[in-house]
Chains A and B, each alone.
Chain A
Amino acid sequence: MLFAATLAIFITMLLAIIRGIVGPTLYDRILAVNMFGTKTVLLIALLGFVMGRPEFLDIAIVYALINFISVIGVLRYSDTHQFKHSPTLEDPVEKED
């Protein structure tokens, strides 16, 4: 049962990576990283149980924190003026497809 869950999580992470690489706008990539982060937290929790070593949960907590801080960092420094026009720059791309 645990193994099935780890497999599902692993596939979702792959999907997140694809979105991360393809993602047209800047915010798609941030979303992909955020989703990837939360999924890794789950993966580690599951691995902890699969491998029978419950100490892994400390790492899961750290993961969640670091993911939170890096997403905040990304957003905090992404609203400086260089990025102001670049999302709209990419916007026309958005509208065409």
Chain B
Amino acid sequence: MSEYALILLTTVLVNNFVLTQFLGLCPFMGVSRTLETAVGMGLATTFVLTLASALSFLIDHWLLQPYDLTYLRTLSFILIIAIVVQFAEIVIRQRSPLLHRVLGLYLPLITTNCAVLGVALLSSRQHHSLLEAVFFGFGAALGFTLVLVLFSLLRERLNGANVPDAFKGNAIGLITAGIMSLAFMGFSGLS
């Protein structure tokens, strides 16, 4: 049990995919303008990541490795992710058209979210078991959601700040993300 908790803790805080590995920065900057979109994106990504890491584990172990097709890993993982993203998109469009509209392009773009592919590839490289892979994916998604929500609230607050014109918008967003990442370095070496 504790090993799973450790995986979770590691992926959420110590090796946070956004702030320490700099993966998935595109949605991180793109949909962090308001809390609602951030939460929506976080939930969508959590769904996709968890499911995708489980499915890619299955494909990897039952199909690619037995038949010696590991050179197809990236390709098949991307396909799996695309399928899961499609599924998520359909569900969101049905459940919350507003969120669907607001997430806009970023929703299908989860497909190319490097964090998702990165998690799947890292998971297979680290020889995780199925459950470990799921926790790995879930933890990564949780970490992504956490920093996305924190970042969106920070940006909402920064809307009122007297930021110099040259730094308005994404510039101050990136600087803030940099300082966030600096803060997360405090977790490095945590054991």
Q: Are A and B genuine complex partners?
A: no
Interface residues of A (CB under 8 A from B): none
